[in-house]
Structures are given as C-alpha cells and as structure tokens.
Amino acid sequence: QADGKVRFGTWDRMAFVSGALVSRSAAVQTAVNSASSFVPSRSSWRCSVRRSVSAPRTGVMMQATGETLEDWLRTNKVEPKLAQTARAIFTACKEIAYKIRTASCDKMACFNEFGDEQLAIDLLADKALFDNLEACGVVATASSEEVPIEKPITEGGAYSVAFDPLDGSSIIDTNFSVGTIFGVWPGAKLTGVTGRELVCSGLAIYGPRTTITLAIDGVDDAHEFLLMDDFSGKHGQFIHTQVFSKVEEGKLFAPGNLRAVSDNPGYADLVQYYKDNKYQLRYTGGVGSHVKQKLLQG
C-alpha cells in the first residue's frame, strides 16, 4: 500500500491461502479477480496444480511415508535458506499449538494457572513467529496482521514473510479449529509484490490434530505434515502425511458475513445459487479450517 502497510482482509486471506496452496494457478487468479462481483460461475472455481502422478477425484493422495520435515526438505532439494525459513515457521507453529492447548483464554486475553492476565493468544502467536524468524537468521523482513508494516528482521536476509498468526482467534474460547496463514517471498520487500512471486506458502490448522499444508517452489503439489503428539520416537516432529494435487468441485460452501445478503444483491444471488443447487452449509468463523476442508472435500 502507499502508506507502507501490508493489508490483511477476508478476501485477501482466502485468495492468498487457496491460491498459494495450488501453485498460483491461472484459474485461481481468475476466481480471485472476479470474487467481488459474487457472480456464480462454477467453471471459475476449479483450480489445479502441477501433478507428476494421477490422483483420485478428490485431489488427495494419501502418502503416509513417515518422512520427517527435515528429510522431506532434503529429499526435494529445497534451497537451503528457504528450507531454513520453513523450519522456523514450523517451529513457531508447534509453539503456537502448545500455547493454544494450554492457555485459558477469552476473546481479549489469556490467563496462567494463577489467574494472572497474559498477552492475548493472537499476540502470543505473533511473537512466536517473529522470534523464530529472527532466530533463523535468513529472513530480511516480516509483517503480520498484528504488525502490518515491513518490520526489518535480519540485515542481508534472503526472504520476506507475511503471516496471519492466528486466523479465527475470536473463536478460540469455543474450541473450534483455528489456523496460521503464511507466505514467503524472495528479497527484502513485501509491498509491491504479488502471489505469483511466492516461493513458499502454507496453512497450519490447530484442531484435534495439528497439521501444516505447505506449497514450495520447485516441488509439485501441496503437502501436508502432521505434528506427532503420541510420545513415540517421533513425538514433537512433523511427519509428511498427504499430497494435495488439485481442488475439485464439491458441494460445500462457507459464506462469511452472511448478513451482507441484505445489502449486497450479488452476494444474495450467490448464496441463493448454493441453496438451489443443494450445497451443504459449513462455517465456523475461521477461514483456515474451511480452506483445508475444500482441499480435502472440494
């Protein structure tokens, strides 16, 4: 933006996450560009990524290889500094998952076992990401929904990272799934860049399980990693579990701000189209979990 701030809006999140995780597909770009008109067009919703193998209709291939994140990054020959950035984000997400499970929170703040008020959970998540990005030593600039400016991290760093530390923080106290959304660009700037320049993006979901779905430059498809929490030999490690090759058409819809149908005729027409065509309504208030749902079920 002209004022040097990085903006995070609902449509930005949806376009950023779904578009990034399917390798900047031209179909996604078309859907994003036309989103504000709310005109139902089923053909524009379909998007795909490069595939090296065939996949079932859902676009999901189960691949419980047991590869750790470290092994997967090495096997796929991910550029070393980009791999270091990804590791830092995964480490932060592991910390956030723990904080979400153990903090007693309301919408404004969290409390420790003595009842002392602490930072709100989204600020704790924000701090975890900034701290880990600084510690990795290869990130030049970072920006978040909580700190929407280009914040210098490491002089001479190779990458810049933008993130929403805790999407859905307002539904934490209901124990719904929430998430972290992130994107990585080459260089030291986050203003004046586009989704087509992303070299890495991902979506963490904190629910009954903690997973991160990752798309990274030079590697086909989007890949899911599961945080092991079973006190086995791999406890605390992220394990490669699934591959998403495309997003198929499905029969689910998750309309945010449904009250807007009273004021926006285009939005009202879109929702009516879903209803007339027997789509199933699913919405919790957290964008991340619904993007993951679309990856899994279309």
CB-facing half-sphere around the CA of 227: CA atoms within 13 A:
20
* Strand 47-48 with 246-247, pairing: antiparallel
Q: What is the pLDDT of residue 108?
A: 59
Calculate the CA dihedral of residues 27, 32, 36, 41 and round it to 10 degrees: 20
Q: What are the structure tokens assigned to 17, written together?
A: 């996450």
Question: Which of 44-53, 115-124, 127-136 has the weakest average pLDDT?
Answer: 44-53
pLDDT digits (tens, 9 = 90+) for 230-243: 777 778 899 999 99
Give the DSSP H/E element, type plus range, for residue 271. Answer: helix 265-276
pLDDT in tens, 121-154: 888 899 999 999 999 999 999 999 888 999 999 9
pLDDT band for 100, please (50, 70, 90 cuts): confident
Check pLDDT > 90 for residue 13: no
CB atoms within 10 A of CB 229: 15
Q: Which range, of 7-21, 30-44, 160-174, averages the lowest pLDDT?
A: 30-44
